[in-house]
A and B are shown apart, each in its own frame.
Chain A
Amino acid sequence: MLKDSETAVECRRESELLKRLAPQCIEDTGGLFVAVAKDDDHYVARFPGLCHRHGITCTPVDIADARHKEPCLAPDLKAVFHVPDAVVDPFRLSLDNAADAQKHGARILRNTRVTQFVSHNGTLSAARVQDTRTGKIFLIEALQYINATGAWADKVAAMAGAHIPMLYSKGSLVITQRRISSRVINRLRPASDADILVPGGTVSIIGTTSLEIKNLDDIRPTMEEVSFIIQQGSVMVPELAFTRYIRAYAGVRPLVKNGQARGRTISRNYTLRDHAAEGVKNLVTITGGKLTTYRLMAEKTVDIVAGRLKIAVPCLTAVLPLPPGKKGEWTEPGKSPRVWAAHPRPKDTLICECEMVSESMVDDIVDTLCAEGSPPTLEEVGRRSRIGKGPCQGTFCSFRLAAHLYRTGNLEGDQGVSQVKGFVNERWKGFMPLVRDRELMRLEMQEAFLCGLFNMEADR
């Protein structure tokens, strides 16, 4: 935060906008910066001044008072500051954005990968894309192309003959089974591993690591990273050492290379690049940045494209609210049990008993997915609901979901087996690094069913 001054200011502005325009996606938690006994006094002393310089209101908090408000905090604190902070529900934010874009005429093609660009005299005339499920290849013809592919930005730009040298920094995080704190809790030290605990709905997330990687094909958290995160996190919040975790996950920060900087020292600011200078006249790349500034990034990008298309209408996303859409309805942790408890319908079979997702909720999600133009997969239904995210991690619910999708005509042939395998493996990716002791019991049960009884690994 204190390193990238411009980023900090942008973040603050955008965060205020989001709180106002998309309140359904934001929980205004406030945040604490806490220093433990061994943290650097010098850094602690500089902190309020640095906040002030970036226009961030930073208030010292009495340590006893802080521990009263957040009992999870370590006993050996030596300084606590309160800062404005909020948490975003990223699923909801993404889905509400997608829904709003569709309302404005956008078409969203899920499971579609760019494989090539068709180009004439430096102008892209079509993007060749492939439906990853059906294998069908088709062309998308447009006047302007925006490359907003995150960590894949360089690979996609290269298909068009452009170039953005990038570094990939993998960050891993771990999700606890219950919410540990009300506020975001940051360790008061220079940016480092496992220095932030973020609450979100019914869970908390502790992270993150920063590990430079070369290959984008297999991004997963490792056992070593998870152990390290837990050990580091427990310095500021001791119960992290023994609380129950449900999942670990990893993402990639796309960092655009700039001189000799590496890892955390590279700017986390966004990069907006017009490729006209490289001879590709109608391609713009936007990458890097943070979720908080996503709106601003989109605005700046579209301004360039609109200029080229001679459209003079100004961007309104900083003014118009983002309406709460139906797509994101079932992603909120704790919502489906609440709905179920408020209106129990005995006929409405629960597909997922851990998170209480019923057949009618699934039908709702399936309708939305179908309206987007293609039949849903187990993974997609999982992503838009809490299915598979509870303690059984898909052992039972994946089959029930598959059975239901067959009954409603959304699955055919032997799609069920391969989709259940895909679903289970997606959950496994986040569970495997957490396997320490009691988790072996669950693995044994899950394998006894999926392999011992169902023979899924060997059935052809």
Chain B
Amino acid sequence: MAGMAASIFARNRGISTVQVGQVSEIGFSSGCLDLFSIIPGRQPAVFGNPFDGMDALVKKMPCHPYSKVTHAQIRRAFAQFTEFMGSAGIFFHGPEKDCRQAWNNQHIITPAGTLKPTCQVPAAMKAGAQAIAGNQRIGIIGIKGLKGFGALQMAKTLQSKGFQVTGNTVAFPGRETAGDLMCERLAWDLETPKVLQQFIQRVKPHVQQVDVLGLPAVLGIYRFEQLRRTMEHTLGRPVFEIPTLSPSVTGIRLKEAYLEKMTGLDLLHFPVTVSEIVQNKNAFVFSVTQGMESRKIMAKNLILATGRFMGKGLGVADEQIKEMLFDLPVVQPENRSGWLCHDFFDPAGHPVNRAGIETDDSFRPLGATGSVFHPRLYAAGSILAHQDWKREKSGAGISIVSAFKAVSHIAENTPAGPAA
């Protein structure tokens, strides 16, 4: 996410950019853009308005990545990001006016039957967030054999919170007897008009007593807007999607739309792993290999958006957490026994989650001496220290705003003309 955002912002500024690395983690994405919701702690503080929350957060955690950005920068970063994604065919439903209150968090239904606060939802989830906010009658439709999506489980859990939700399960056309369905496969199937029509007919008996219909996110990989509209039109009800466990179709859509758009814009993207980067006087030099061809990349500025342990931006050696490319100093608990809490769901969050890279206000990593490690090296996204995006519900926000600020700094410090 941080890498994607950085490429978008750099392109917007006319900076020549190369993106290197696997976009694997995006496959886990719910498709929503979280900004901020919760300050974890013994008594977690939940905020309806992300900016109210951030102000309180920065008071409590003065080194948090959000302490390095202004509200105006956050708004601009989100606007640029969503505008680009819109041009790639992914529309977000977020604040309609540019006032603080309009940014209040929305709530989406999750496959656990819980509600998750988030800042902006893809258009495909808008009707669901509105139905929750307006306490409308929601009908959730599950698919027989699609594991990890229990319509009845979600309905009963939400009912116990006072929502009007029913749950039903239908068989998927052509896959009636399958016991192991995957979302991505179903999404491909539904791109076929005949299958979509049959599917709609099976859902039809369940629309009578409901205002909106919720489905697992399987309505197409590419023509998802069109498929949803066809469905809404035929059934006469708004339809929304519910994000699923990985590999999630919502994440695949983001990735596909982004890559297609960027390829059209001539952004070079190498989905390869880089394990060594040399710094010479003027540039960071590394090679990327695609097929038989090996290319040398020389970059004046480098943004490290390598993620945490899953993305392999961070690793462990001798019980110490390490940054894997430059061996940057990592802020971390004193020793391994301080990494984790006894309760997996401890409201304060596991201390290891706040380990990461310390930076200056422009998101340039600090070296061992406490000064900037390299004047043109930046870090963005989940690799940053002092944040716990999973608990704060701040993942996309931290990625987008840190990338935005880093790119702004690069732009301001780069003389006009071909560079980077």
Contact = CB atoms under 8 A, between A and B. Distances in A.
B344 A406 contact: no
A453 to B, nearest CB: 5
A348 B179 contact: yes
B152 interface: yes
A423 B290 CA distance: 44
A249 to B, nearest CB: 14
Given A224-B337, A350-B179, A448-B390, A455 B309 contact: no
Contacts of A413: 156-157, 159-160
Contacts of B389: 452
Given A347-B177, A349-B179, A458-B38, A420 B112 contact: yes
A349 B46 CA distance: 38
B390 A425 contact: no
A414 to B, nearest CB: 4
Nearest to B340: A432
Contacts of A222: 337
A180 to B, nearest CB: 24
A417 B347 contact: no
Interface string A424-460: 1100110010011100110111011111111111110
A420 B340 CA distance: 20
A47 B150 CA distance: 60
B310 A441 contact: yes
B315 interface: yes
B152 A445 contact: no
A412 B177 CA distance: 27
Which secondary structure dominates chain B's binding surface? Answer: loop
B180 interface: yes
Interface residues of B, number: 59
B44 to A, nearest CB: 6
A449 B160 CA distance: 22
Q: What range describes how many residues of A lie at the interface?
A: 35 or more
Contact of A437 (B38, B115, B315, B337): B315
A8 B160 CA distance: 57
A403 B344 contact: no
Interface stretch (B78-86, B88-96, B141-149): B141-149
A351 B147 contact: yes
Nearest to A449: B245
Interface string B132-176: 000000000000010111101100110111000000010000000
B114 A454 contact: yes
B110 A454 contact: yes
Contacts of A454: 110-112, 114, 116
A428 B339 CA distance: 14
B117 interface: yes
Interface string A99-137: 000000000000000000000000000000000000000
Contacts of A91: none
A448 B344 contact: no
Contact of A223 (B115, B245, B336): B336
Nearest to A425: B344
Given A350-B180, A448-B28, A403 B148 contact: yes
A399 B350 CA distance: 22
A440 B160 CA distance: 34
Nearest to A429: B342
A348 B177 CA distance: 9
A296 interface: no
B214 interface: no
Interface in A324-376: 345-351, 358-359
Interface string A211-228: 000000010101110000
Nearest to B348: A457
B395 interface: yes
A437 B310 CA distance: 11
Contacts of B180: 346, 349-350
Contacts of B179: 345-350, 358-359
13 contacts: A347-B178, A350-B180, A399-B148, A400-B148, A406-B150, A417-B113, A437-B317, A447-B390, A451-B345, A453-B245, A455-B115, A457-B346, A459-B112
Across the A-B interface, the 4 shortest Cβ-Cβ residue pairs: A403-B150, A437-B316, A349-B179, A459-B114
Given A432-B344, A449-B28, 18 more contacts: A347-B179, A399-B148, A403-B147, A403-B149, A406-B150, A416-B112, A416-B153, A425-B344, A425-B345, A441-B310, A444-B310, A450-B344, A451-B390, A452-B390, A453-B243, A454-B114, A455-B116, A455-B117
Interface of B: 28, 30, 38, 44, 46, 110-117, 145, 147-150, 152-153, 156-157, 159-161, 169, 177-180, 243, 245-246, 308-310, 314-317, 319, 336-337, 339-340, 342-347, 350, 352-353, 389-391, 393, 395
